[in-house]
Structure 1
Amino acid sequence: MKKQFIIVSAFLLSMTVFGQKDEIKTAEKAIKSNDFNTALTAINQAEGLISNADDKTKAKFYYLKGLALYQNEGAQMDVDKTAAAFNDLFNFEKSINSFKYTDEIKALSGKMVNGIATKASSQYSAAIESKEPADFSKAAKLFHQVYKLSPVDTVFLDNAALIYYFGKEYKTSRDLYQQLLDMNYTGIAEEFVATNKADGKDVTYPDKKAMDLQVKLGMAENPRTEVKESRRELIFKNLAQNSSDLNEMDKALEYISMGRQEFPKSYSLLIDEANIYYKLGDNAKFKERLELAIEMNPTEPTLYYNVGVMNMEQKKTDEAIKYFEKAIELKPDYGDAYNNIGAAIIEKAGPIIEEMNKSLNDFAKYDKLQKQQFAIYEKSVPYYEKAFELNKSSISVVQTLMGLYENLGMDEKLEAIKTVYAELKGE
C-alpha cells in the first residue's frame, strides 16, 4: 500500500508540473499576440501551482506575469499590480543569483517610472493652481506609484506622503510617513549641481558622471556637490500634524515626544507641542512650552506675546504687561501687543469698579473711586491709540477708544473716532 501511495503522489506531482508548463506556454503565446486577458487567466491558473516549480520555471512565470500585467503600458494596465509583479521578479532573480529577465523588465520599469513621474509633476503643478484637495490626491497617488515601481527612490514616497497631506488624506499621509520612519529614512543625499552657461541657471544632474560630462563639453560651469539636509525631524512633525488633523491628540503628542527625544534642541517640535496643548485647552502646559521656547529663541516676539496672553488669562496682569512690552521691544509695530497692554491696564480697574458698585449711596467715596478708575483709563489710552495707528481697520480698537474718550470727556477725539467708526461700519 505504501509503495502504491508513493507512486500515485509522484504521478500527481508530474501532472502539476505539466499543468504549470502548459499554463506558462499559453500565457507566453497570448502575450506575443497581445491577448493579455488570456495571458492573465493562464497566469492566475499557474500561480497556485508555481511553488513546486524549479527556479527556471519560477523566473519565467514572474517574467510573464509582469508582461501580462504591463500590457505594453496600455490603458488597462494596473500600475500597482504591475509594479508588484516587476519587484517579485527582481527579488526572485536576485535570490537565485540569476538575472535572465531582470534587465529587460528593468528597462520597462524605468520607462514607466519616467512616464509616471512626469505625470506626477504635471498633476502636482495643476493642483497648486487649482488648490483642490482632490487634485493633490491624484498627484500623490502618482508619486506613490513611482515609489512602488522603484523602491530605491524613497524620495518619491516622501513626496507622496506630503502631497497626500495637501489632499487632506491625513490617514494615508501618516501611514506613508510611518513607513519612512520605520525604514530609517533621512532624505540625506548628495546632489550634483552645476551652472548652465547658456542661461546662468543651476542644473541638478542624476549623477557626478553626467555633471562632469556637461562641464567637459563646456556647457556648464561651477560644478559642485551639495548635501541635502535630513528630513527626519520634519517627518516627526508631519506625523504629529496628521494625527492632530485626525483629532488623535495623544498620538500627535506621542510623535512629538519621539521627535524631541531624537532632536532635543528642536525649536520647531517644541512649538508644535505647545500648539497641541493649546488645541487641547491645556493652557498651563501651553505656557510652559512657550517659556521653554523663549529660552531657545529669545528674540521671537510672538512667543512673548503668547505668554503674555496666558498670563492675562491667569489674572497675572503685571506679568502679562512685561511680556507684551518685551514683544514690542523686539517688534515695535506689534499692534496686538499695544492693544493687549491697554486691555491689561483697564483690567486693573476691575476691583475699583466692584467697590464703586458697593458705594452707590456714598457719593464722596464713589467720586473718589471714579477718579482712580479714570486715572487708570488715562494710562491705557496711549496704548490703544498706538494700536489704532498701526491698524486703522480694527473695529474693536476703535470701539474701545470711543468708550475711553467718552468716559474721560475727551470730546474732540471722541468726535473724530466716531467718524472713523461710521466709515468702518459703512454708514
Structure 2
Amino acid sequence: MKKQIVVALALLVSTLSFSQKNELKTAEKAIKSGNFADAKSAIKSAEALIVSADDKTKAKFYFLKGETLYANGTGSNTDMDLAIENFAKVKDIESKTGKAKYTGLIYELTQAMLSNFLTKANKALEEKNYLVSSSGFEKAYRMSPKDTLYLYYAASTAVTAQDYDKSLELYEELKGLGYQGSEVKYSAVNKDSGETENFDNQQLRDFSVKSGTHIAPKETKTKSKAAEIIKNIALIYVNKGDNEKAISAIGEARVQNPDDLSLLMTEANVQLKMGNTSEFKKLIEEATKKDPNNAELQYNLGVVAADAGENQAARDYYKKAISLNPDYADAYNNMAVLVLSGEQKIIEEMNGLGSSAADDKRYDELKEERLVLYREAVTYLNKTLELKPKNIDVAKTLLNIYRVLGDTDKANSIKAKIEALESGN
C-alpha cells in the first residue's frame, strides 16, 4: 500500500512538472509571435505550480513572465514595474546557482526598457507632463541604479508637478545615497568657427583634438547638487506645513549653503509662521547685512518693528525700502497704515477733554494734528493707488480722508474710481 502511494505521488509530481513546462513553452511561443495576451494566460496557469519547481524552471518562468509584462515596450506602467521585479528574481536565482542562462538576455531587454523609459520621460518633459516624466525617470533609475542622475531628474520633475510627497521620498533617497551630481564637462575650441564646443565624453574630445579639428581642450567640473537637494527637502517641508522638520532641514541646508540668502529668508518666514518673532527679526537683520540694498528685507524689518510697537524704527525701515525701490507699493501702504495708527491716541485725548477754554484750545490743536496726520497719509495712499490702481480698500480709505479734509473735488474723483472698480470697468 505504501509503495502505491509513493508511486502515485511521483506520478503527480511528474504530471505537474510536465504541465508546468507545457505552459512555459506555450508562453514562449506566444511571446515570439507577439501574442502577449496568450502569453499572460499561459504564465498565469504555470504560476500556481512554480513554488515547487526547481531553480532552472523558476528562472525560466520569471524571465518569461518579465518578457510578457514588458510586451516589447507596450506594457502598462504597473506591468513594467512587475517586469523589473521578475527580472530581478531571475538575476537573484542565477547568482545563487552560478548559471547565467538568462542574465545576458535580461541585460539586452533591460537596455531596451531603459531606452523606452527615457524616451517617454523626455517626451513627457517636453510636453510639460511632469508627472509622467517623473515616473519615467524613476523607472529608468530602478532599471539602472548606477545612473543616479535619473533619480535626480525624477525628484526634480515631481517637484515641478507639485507632487511633494513623491518628490520628498525621492530626494530623501538621493540624500541617503550621498548623491553629489557633479560631473566633468569636456570641451574644446573648433578651429574653423572659433567657438567652444562640448563633447559627450573625454574620448570624443581628445580624438577631435588629436585629429586637428579642435584646440584648447578644457575640463570643467559642475557644482555638486547635494546642497540643492537638502534645500529642496526643506522647502517641501515648508510647503507641507511641517515647520519643525522644515527648520531642521533648513539648518542642515544652510550649513552647506552659508551664503544662500533665499534659504535664510525661508528660515525667517518659517520662524514667523511659528510665532517666533524675535528669531524672525534676528534672521532678517542677518540677511540685511548680507544684502544691505535689498528693499524687501528692509520692508520685513519694518513689519516686525511695527508689530512690536516700535513705530519710529518701522518708519525708518519703510523709508529705506522706498529709497531702494521707489515702486514698492506695500511699503507705501504700510507707511500710510503706520501714520494713521497715530490717530487713535489723538481721538482718545480729544474725547477725554472737558469744556473749559483750555480744553477747547487743546481740542483745536489736536484737531489740526489729526488733519496733518491725514495729509501725510494721503501722500502714501495716493502713491499706493498709483502703483496698484485696482486696490479698492486704499481707494475707500482715501475717499474717507478727503471727506474729512473737505476736499470735495478729490473725494468725487476717488468716488468715481471706486464705482468703476466695483462695476468691473
TM over 0.5: yes
CA drift of 1:36 comes to 3.1
- CA contact 1:352–1:373 (8 Å) conserved in 2: yes
Question: Counterpart of 2:297?
Answer: 303
Give me the whole-angstrom Cα distance separating, in 1, the residues matched to 2:48 and 2:289: 64
Letter in 2 for 1:423: A
The answer as to 2:162 corresponding to 1:161 is: no
**Bigger CA drift: 324-333 or 219-228?**
219-228
- CA contact 1:40–1:69 (8 Å) conserved in 2: no
| C-alpha spacing 1:96/1:370, structure 2 compared with 1 (3 Å) | farther
Give me the whole-angstrom Cα distance separating, in 1, the residues matched to 2:193 and 2:17: 59
Question: Counterpart of 1:398?
Answer: 395
**Bigger CA drift: 248-257 or 315-324?**
248-257
The answer as to 2:346 corresponding to 1:343 is: no
Q: 1:385 aligns with which of 378, 382, 394?
A: 382
Letter in 1 for 2:399: M
| C-alpha spacing 1:193/1:240, structure 2 compared with 1 (3 Å) | same
- CA contact 2:59–2:89 (8 Å) conserved in 1: no
| C-alpha spacing 1:24/1:195, structure 2 compared with 1 (3 Å) | farther
Where 1:425 maps in the other structure, the secondary structure is: helix
Question: Counterpart of 1:70?
Answer: 70
Structure 2 stretches lacking a partner, 5+ long:
1-8, 32-37
The answer as to 2:365 corresponding to 1:368 is: yes
The answer as to 2:331 corresponding to 1:334 is: no
- CA contact 1:24–1:43 (8 Å) conserved in 2: no
CA drift of 1:420 comes to 3.2
Q: 1:420 aligns with which of 397, 410, 417?
A: 417
Question: Counterpart of 1:7?
Answer: none
Structure 1 stretches lacking a partner, 5+ long:
1-11, 129-134
The answer as to 2:30 corresponding to 1:36 is: no
Give me the whole-angstrom Cα distance separating, in 2, the residues matched to 1:219 and 1:64: 50
Question: Counterpart of 2:83?
Answer: 82
Give me the whole-angstrom Cα distance separating, in 2, the residues matched to 1:194 and 1:18: 68
- CA contact 2:43–2:61 (8 Å) conserved in 1: no
Give me the whole-angstrom Cα distance separating, in 1, the residues matched to 2:269 and 2:190: 44
Which whole-Å deviations, capped at 9, do the CAs of 1:75-96 have from their partners, x for residues lacking one? 3681112223444556776788
CA drift of 1:317 comes to 1.0
| C-alpha spacing 1:321/1:84, structure 2 compared with 1 (3 Å) | same
CA drift of 1:411 comes to 4.0
Where 2:406 maps in the other structure, the secondary structure is: coil
- CA contact 2:27–2:64 (8 Å) conserved in 1: no
Question: Counterpart of 1:285?
Answer: 279
CA drift of 1:184 comes to 0.8
CA drift of 1:168 comes to 3.7
- CA contact 1:70–1:82 (8 Å) conserved in 2: yes
Which whole-Å deviations, capped at 9, do the CAs of 1:51-99 have from their partners, x for residues lacking one? xx5xx88876765554454343343681112223444556776788886
Give me the whole-angstrom Cα distance separating, in 2, the residues matched to 1:149 and 1:255: 30
Which whole-Å deviations, capped at 9, do the CAs of 1:362-384 have from their partners, x for residues lacking one? 43322121112222233333333
Could you say what the CA RMSD is over the residues aligned between the two structures, in angstroms? 4.1
Give me the whole-angstrom Cα distance separating, in 2, the residues matched to 1:238 and 1:170: 10
Give me the whole-angstrom Cα distance separating, in 2, the residues matched to 1:197 and 1:392: 57
Give me the whole-angstrom Cα distance separating, in 2, the residues matched to 1:334 and 1:348: 23
CA drift of 1:213 comes to 6.2
Question: Counterpart of 2:137?
Answer: 143
Give me the whole-angstrom Cα distance separating, in 1, the residues matched to 2:69 and 2:194: 44
| C-alpha spacing 1:309/1:201, structure 2 compared with 1 (3 Å) | farther
> Under a length normalisation based on structure 2, what TM-score does the superposition of the two structures give?
0.78
CA drift of 1:203 comes to 7.8
**Bigger CA drift: 185-194 or 311-320?**
185-194
**Bigger CA drift: 145-154 or 86-95?**
86-95
- CA contact 1:28–1:64 (8 Å) conserved in 2: no
Letter in 2 for 1:399: K
Question: Counterpart of 1:227?
Answer: 221
Question: Counterpart of 1:110?
Answer: 111
The total of aligned residue pairs comes to 407
> Under a length normalisation based on structure 1, what TM-score does the superposition of the two structures give?
0.78
CA drift of 1:263 comes to 3.3
Give me the whole-angstrom Cα distance separating, in 2, the residues matched to 1:404 and 1:242: 45
| C-alpha spacing 1:74/1:370, structure 2 compared with 1 (3 Å) | closer
**Bigger CA drift: 217-226 or 342-351?**
217-226
Give me the whole-angstrom Cα distance separating, in 2, the residues matched to 1:40 and 1:424: 68
